[in-house]
Amino acid sequence: MFALRTLAFKSSPILKYQVVTAGFHTGVGMFGAKVAVVLSGCGVYDGTEIHEASAILVHLSRGGAEVQMYAPDISQMHVIDHSKGQPAETESRNVLSESARIARGNITDLTKLSVSNHDAIIFPGGFGAAKNLSTFAVDGPDCQVNKDVERVIKDFHKAGKPIGLCCISPVLAAKLLPGVEVTVGHEEEEGGKWPYAGTAQAVKALGAKHCVKDHYEAHVDQKNKVVTSPAFMCETQLHLIFDGIGAMVSNVLKLSGK
C-alpha cells in the first residue's frame, strides 16, 4: 500500500515528502510517550467512531506522543450502510483495510503489537469495539473478546502501563480486568440524552465498577491505570465530546510518566 501511495505522487517532490511523513501523528519536538491506538474499522455503526479517533490523535499530537495505529486483520461482523442505518447484506469488509482509511495507510496488524514497544494504549469507540473487537453487541456480558485484543489489554495491565478507552470500548476492560473502574457516562437515559445508558448495567454485570461521569469528563482508575470517557455515549455537541476525550488522553499520558 505504501508503495502505491508513493507511486501515485511520484511527480511531486512536495507531495512525496507528505506521503513519507503522513503516517506520523506526533507533536513538535522531542517524542514523548509511545502510544498504540487500536482501531476497529471505519464508521460508527460497524467500525471506529471517526470523530473519536481524530480527537484522540489530535490530543496525542498536542501532548507530544509518538503514535502507531493497529487493527486486527479480520472480517467485520457486518457492513452498515451509514446513509440508511441498515446492513448492506451483500458486502464484506476487512477491519484492517477499513482502519487504514483513518490511519492514512500507516496501520499495522494487531498481531504485531508488543507491549514492550509502547508506553500506553488507547481504544476509540464506535460499534466496531462491540462488533469486531468483541461480540458485546450480540452477546452482552457473555461476550467474547478478540484474542489479540485480550492479549494486549492484559499485557499492558500486567506491565502497569495505562489503558485509555472511550464510548463503548470500556466494556473491553470491564470484561477482561476483574473489578476495574470504568465510565460509559450516565446510568439513566434522561430523555434520550444518554441513549446507551443501559450499558452501565452490563458493565456491572461483568464485575466492573461503573462510575457516573459527564461527557466532558474522564474517570481514572489509579489502581489499574485505566482511563475512560463517555464520548458519544451522550448526545451532545462535538466540541464537548472532544474535550472529554482530551481529559482521557491527558490522564493516559500523565500515567505513562512521559
Cite the active site residues: 167
Measured over the CA atoms of residue 1, residue 51, residue 159 and residue 152, the dihedral's sign is negative
CB 197 within 8 A of CB 186: yes
Alpha carbon 166 to chain centroid distance? 7
Kind of pairing between the strands at 34-38 and 66-71:
parallel
Can you tell me the distance from the alpha carbon of 250 to that of 244, in angstroms, rounded to the nearest whole number? 10
C-alpha angle with apex 224: 135 to 73, nearest 5 degrees? Answer: 35
CB 28 within 8 A of CB 108: no
